[in-house]
Amino acid sequence: MTVSAALRASLQSPDAKRLARLRAQADALPSELAMAYSDGLLLIEWTDPATKKPEILASFLPSAPSDLVEQLAAAPETIRFLLNLIDRATTKIRDLQGRQQDQLRKLRPNGNYAANCAIVCDDPLFREYMELWHGLERDADRDWLVGKLHKVLEISSRRELNTNPAAAARWLDLLHAYNGWKADR
């Protein structure tokens, strides 16, 4: 499943529903809470929009940790900040996914990474590279090489190199490292 598909599926998830509830609750929260002291009690106050007067939302005994009360008073702002952070991260992820897809289209020379991988696996220098850098046993046959490659690329089939952007990116990284090693020999 691609990240986009996982993201779409997660929109229907219990987490997504909970996030929607949190957004609705955050919208209903007072815009600002403040700490105050009165008669030896630590208070959290909010300003009633209708009267513009501070109202006591909660009072705490003098033994209540002031750090905890401060965190509670900051909760609406913290929740809004975190929701905004989630929104920005989601936007960034979608942007990066689009760029990754564009890069894959540009970098794919013949549109078939799986075939390219099969060709590279037949290269004796690639076998040597896999021995040196990825622990392939020297006497391993081609099936062992392919198995090791699957493990390194975290795939079960070379076809995934054409269908899974993350697997394709791992293949391109490995190919880049191999070509660099080969050039330095």
Same domain, 69 and 99: yes
24 & 71 share domain: yes
pLDDT score of 122: 92
Per-residue model confidence (pLDDT) at position 84: 95
Q: Which alpha helices (DSSP H) does the chain contain, by range?
A: 3-10, 14-28, 66-107, 113-121, 124-134, 142-153, 160-163, 165-184
Residue 99 and residue 28 share a domain: yes
Both 69 and 146 in a single domain?
no
Residue that finishes a domain, picked among 106, 131, 147: 106
Single residue among 106, 130, 154 that ends a domain in this structure = 106
Shared domain for 94 and 113, answered yes or no, is no
C-alpha distances in angstroms, 172 versus 4, 71, 100?
21, 46, 12
The reply to whether 86 and 157 lie within a common domain is no
Full-model pTM: 0.51
Pair of tokens at residue 133: 């850098």
Same domain, 136 and 97: no
Number of domains in the chain: 2
Q: Looking at the structure, tell me whether residues 82 and 123 fall in a common domain.
A: no
User: What pLDDT, on a 0 to 100 scale, did the predictor assign at position 125?
Assistant: 94
- Judge if 59 and 129 occupy the same domain: no
Q: What is the pLDDT of residue 11?
A: 54
Q: Residue 17's pLDDT is what? A: 87
CA distances (Å), origin 75, targets 14, 29, 82, 127, 129: 23, 9, 10, 57, 54
Shared domain check, 90 and 123 = no
pLDDT score for 110 = 55
Which single residue is written with the structure tokens 């208070």?
43
The amino acid sitting at 139 is: D
Last residue of a domain, one of 50, 85, 106: 106
Listed as ranges, residues in the chain with pLDDT below 70 are: 1-12, 103-111
Q: Are residues 45 and 95 in the same domain?
A: yes
| CB contact at 8 A, 161 and 175 | no
Residue 133, domain extent: 109-184
Residues 123 and 73 both lie in one domain: no
